[in-house]
Copies of this chain bind each other. A is one copy, B any other.
């Protein structure tokens, strides 16, 4: 196990790795290693395991552990590894945080409490208690679609100033709020603002965000790395063109028909099908209760890849 000093701020492309599964729904560690290689070849800056794209909410603890251990081992210090510690409440999150840190994760990513509905003062206390118990830096994960709460900007910024948070992954889809985080943390040069809005990355980076956590980056890491590079080089037109190409490719997440499955089944099924078609994953199995794409739906994914020149 090799730990990697986390850049401060963390910048660039940090794909949220899908979790490859075997047909009997065990972690497919061979495919997971292949996925790490695929992403590192693409030039990504860090790896984020056990996020929403990693089906963290669907994996039992032992599978979560396997994911962290496998990726930490295979990355071998080449890039930092962040691990989601997705659970409902403080003590449960702390358990995940400690296990992930023990297994070598360089940072953890933590949401607001969910299932219970909480007051901002309780969310504040939650992050403080988690950070106090964490051996590694803590990123806040703002994902209201899953947890039912939008992290207030002033709460995130106060926790940043107090050294509780080392960064934020903003998957709220609220680009104006993201701008507020960027402006509000400009005096904290080590604090990292990462966007999870993978369709407006050029805008986020040009407004001062440090990086992006794109689910689609599993499928096309090269594209997101080119996008981030163009933005860093002050070439907004190139960045925009790349974003537009990726925007069109992102249509594959709708491959699963909405009358028969949820959008999570569809998106994760499509990401995994695309990675299987590209030769990275051995299987496209998703975890329960997600439903699998059928052959017609996989054909839709294939068409998107062909149009994007990725096959």
- A89 touches B (CB below 8 Å): yes
A-B residue pairs in contact (CB < 8 Å), sample of 24: A52-B116, A58-B91, A58-B92, A58-B116, A59-B89, A60-B92, A114-B114, A115-B146, A116-B262, A117-B146, A117-B263, A119-B265, A119-B291, A122-B261, A125-B289, A129-B289, A173-B174, A175-B175, A179-B199, A179-B243, A179-B247, A180-B247, A202-B207, A236-B236
Contact with B along A235-253 (1 / 0, CB 8 A): 0100010011001100000
With A262-B119, A289-B118, A289-B129 as contacts: A236 and B91 at CB distance below 8 Å? no
Whole-angstrom distance from the CB of A250 to the nearest CB of chain B? 9
Alpha-carbon distance A206/B88, docked complex (angstroms): 36
Task: Tell me if B207 and A262 are in contact (CB < 8 A).
Answer: no
- A296 touches B (CB below 8 Å): no
Q: Hey, which chain B residues are within 8 Å of A287, CB to CB?
A: 89-91
- Chain A contacts to B: CB under 8 angstroms: 25, 52, 57-61, 63, 86, 88-92, 94-95, 113-119, 121-123, 125-126, 129, 145-148, 173-176, 179-180, 183, 197, 199-200, 202-204, 206-207, 236, 240, 243-244, 247-248, 259-265, 287-291
Task: Tell me if A183 and B126 are in contact (CB < 8 A).
Answer: no
Q: Which are the 8 A-B pairs with shortest beta-carbon distances? A: A203-B203, A90-B288, A176-B199, A119-B262, A175-B175, A126-B289, A57-B115, A58-B89
Alpha-carbon distance A248/B180, docked complex (angstroms): 9
Q: Which of B95, B126, B176, B180 contacts A288 (CB 8 A)?
A: B126
Q: How many copies of this protein are present in the complex?
A: 4
Alpha-carbon distance A259/B120, docked complex (angstroms): 10
Task: Tell me if A175 and B203 are in contact (CB < 8 A).
Answer: yes
Q: Which residue of B lies closest to A256 (CB)?
A: B119
Q: Which of B86, B123, B146, B289 contacts A90 (CB 8 A)?
A: B289
